[in-house]
């Protein structure tokens, strides 16, 4: 019995390492294809956005989470359910703005940056910017416009990785004509 659970653990670890290395290859190729880090950051955000747009359907089906009532509940679901489900980590939700429209996700560990060191010539590269796009794309599909950016990153020498999320507006559902 324990032998089977060891295989499952080894398989998950191998899958995580394969994902990390594949993501690293993607970032490396983008750095070769584009002139500067800002353009690579835009491409990572765009790729992440496209993933988020599709990933939300899987998330809603697998998690059976209902519609969140407010931005605080959304933050908790992102941290405790989504990050756990897809990255195997649970960031803490902190640094709420007084208006309650902005918060930080603190990642003690970021699985995307395992085995990574940023070269000196890529000082403005936001290596994990894909995550910002995923969050923005997924939330847009549930009618929530947000601004997402990294404010701290362990790859830049910070103690933690911090993703800052700001609520912009609740979007109107656009139903096709006749589907009202």
Q: For each of the domains in the chain, give its residue range(s) and CATH number, in order of start.
A: 37-114+125-170 (3.30.1380.20)
**161-170 pLDDT, tens digit each:** 999 999 999 9
Q: In this structure, how many other beta carbons lie within 10 angstroms of the beta carbon of residue 164? A: 17
The single residue listed with the structure tokens 């395992």 is: 114
Position 71 scores a pLDDT of: 93
- Higher-scoring residue by pLDDT: 80, 180: 80
Position 18 scores a pLDDT of: 83
- Residue 76's alpha-carbon distances to 36, 70, 107, 129, in angstroms, are 35, 10, 14, 21
Between helix 37-63 and helix 2-33 the angle, nearest 10°, is: 150
Q: Is 93 helix (H, G, I), strand (E, B) or coil?
A: strand
Q: In this structure, how many other beta carbons lie within 10 angstroms of the beta carbon of residue 142? A: 15
Position 120 scores a pLDDT of: 83
Q: Report the alpha-carbon distance of residue 154 to residue 91 in Å, rounded.
A: 14
**56-102 pLDDT, tens digit each:** 999 999 998 988 899 999 999 999 999 999 988 999 999 999 999 99
Closest CA to 161 of 67, 102, 94: 94
Sign of CA pseudo-dihedral 95, 91, 56, 34: positive
**Could you tell me how many residues make up the chain?**
180
Max alpha carbon distance in the chain (Å)? Answer: 57
Contacts of 61 (CB under 8 A, 6+ apart): none
- Whether pLDDT at 178 is above 60: no
List the beta bridge partners of residue 148: 165
- Residue 51's alpha-carbon distances to 3, 6, 46, 133, 180, in angstroms, are 35, 31, 9, 8, 28
Pairing of strands 161-170, 102-107: antiparallel
Pairing of strands 92-94, 161-170: unpaired
Q: Is 167 helix (H, G, I), strand (E, B) or coil?
A: strand
């Amino acid at each position: 019995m324990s032998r089977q659970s060891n295989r499952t653990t080894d398989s998950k670890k191998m899958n995580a390492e394969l994902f990390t290395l594949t993501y690293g290859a993607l970032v490396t190729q983008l750095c070769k294809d584009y002139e500067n880090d800002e353009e690579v950051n835009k491409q990572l955000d765009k790729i992440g956005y496209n993933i988020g747009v599709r990933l939300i359907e899987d998330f809603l089906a697998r998690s059976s989470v209902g519609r969140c009532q407010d931005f605080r509940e959304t933050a908790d679901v992102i941290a405790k359910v989504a990050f756990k489900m897809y990255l195997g980590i649970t960031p803490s939700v902190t640094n709420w703005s007084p208006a309650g429209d902005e918060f930080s996700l603190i990642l003690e560990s970021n699985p995307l940056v395992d085995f990574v060191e940023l070269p000196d010539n890529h000082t403005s590269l936001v290596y994990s910017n894909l995550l910002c796009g995923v969050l923005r794309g997924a939330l847009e599909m549930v009618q929530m416009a947000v601004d997402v950016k990294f404010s701290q990153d362990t790859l830049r020498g910070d103690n933690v990785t911090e993703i800052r999320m700001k609520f912009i507006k609740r979007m109107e559902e656009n139903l096709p004509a006749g589907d009202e």
